[in-house]
Amino acid sequence: MKFRTGVFALAMTSTVAMAISANAADTYRIPEAVGGYKDGSAYVAGGWSGFYAGVNGGYAFDAQDRHGGVLDDGGFGGGQIGYNWQGIWHPHFVFGIEADIQGSGIDNRGLATLIPSGNIANHEISIDYFGTVRGRLGYAAGPLLIYGTGGFAYGGVNIRFHVPATGNVFTTNNAQPGFAAGGGLEYKFSRAWSVKAEYQYIDLDHDNAVSSSGSFIRTKDTELNTVRAGINYHFGSVYEPLK
């Protein structure tokens, strides 16, 4: 999975390079005060309004020391789609909604002390995928958008405990709901293309890891700090005559 994540990151980097090259002639040269841009021949009104879609990749770090000092971490990559509205309350304010899904190489292997028995267990955890559906609220300063974001999160979490002292194996493999919160920066380097950098805290709910005999271990929430970079294509940008 980590090899596939690395291949995805390389492919995304190549996509960014090609997009920048293909749109070099369309790069904005004169940012306007309120979210629009001049490209030398036309004026783009409401620069952030409309549909967009793109790809992203990043890295996740465990947000708490849960497993005997061994942290969940790993790379991820995927895509996002969303819609922005600019100027509903104020010309500079941008409200939006975004959904994303990620393939993940987040995992760990280590030892865990079980409570209340005190038995030592070999612990394995992996997150095959995760995603979010979030609102975004931002401030547009010309081609730069500064925003906060938060909403629903979900993820496919696999957990396995093997207890050598008893021979018991406890497992869970479920889609876990949760929430996400964070913020980021997005910059339009042409009429239709933007790049972004973003942080998200993601908390996925816990579940019971169950053995074949029906006994169980109550697990803890999966909490992640994630950082990512991405690129978006904005559909249907509208031109108006220069004023």
Q: What is the pLDDT of residues 88-137, one digit of tens each?
A: 888 899 999 999 999 988 887 777 777 777 778 788 888 899 999 999 99
pLDDT in the model for residue 41: 40
The answer to whether 172 touches 215, Cβ cutoff 8 Å, is no
Q: Is the pLDDT of residue 67 over 60?
A: no
Q: Is the pLDDT of residue 64 over 50?
A: yes
**Interval 53-65 mean pLDDT:** 85
Token match 């909403």: residue?
A: 151
Domain count, the chain: 1
- Tokens found for residue 198: 């973003």
Nearest to 166 by CA among 224, 221, 126, 213: 213
Q: CA 68, CA 144: separation in Å to the nearest integer?
A: 42
The answer to whether 131 touches 154, Cβ cutoff 8 Å, is yes
Token match 């629009």: residue?
A: 36
pLDDT in the model for residue 207: 77
Q: CA 188, CA 186: separation in Å to the nearest integer?
A: 7
pLDDT in the model for residue 89: 81
The pTM assigned to this predicted structure is: 0.74
120 CB contacts (<8 Å, ≥6 apart)? 111, 112, 113, 114, 163, 164, 165
pLDDT in the model for residue 71: 56
91 CB contacts (<8 Å, ≥6 apart)? 34, 35
The answer to whether 95 touches 82, Cβ cutoff 8 Å, is no
Under the banding of pLDDT at 50, 70 and 90, the label for residue 172 is: confident
Stronger pLDDT, 225 or 110, i.e. the higher one: 225
The answer to whether 187 touches 143, Cβ cutoff 8 Å, is yes
pLDDT in the model for residue 72: 67
**What is the identity of the amino acid at 230?**
G
Give the percent of the chain with pLDDT over 90: 41
DSSP 8-state symbol, 67: B
CATH number at 54 reads 2.40.160.20
95 CB contacts (<8 Å, ≥6 apart)? 84, 85, 88, 89, 135, 136, 137, 138
Could you tell me the residue range of the domain that residue 94 belongs to? 2-240
Q: Is the pLDDT of residue 189 over 60?
A: yes
Stronger pLDDT, 152 or 44, i.e. the higher one: 152
pLDDT in the model for residue 142: 84
**Interval 5-34 mean pLDDT:** 42
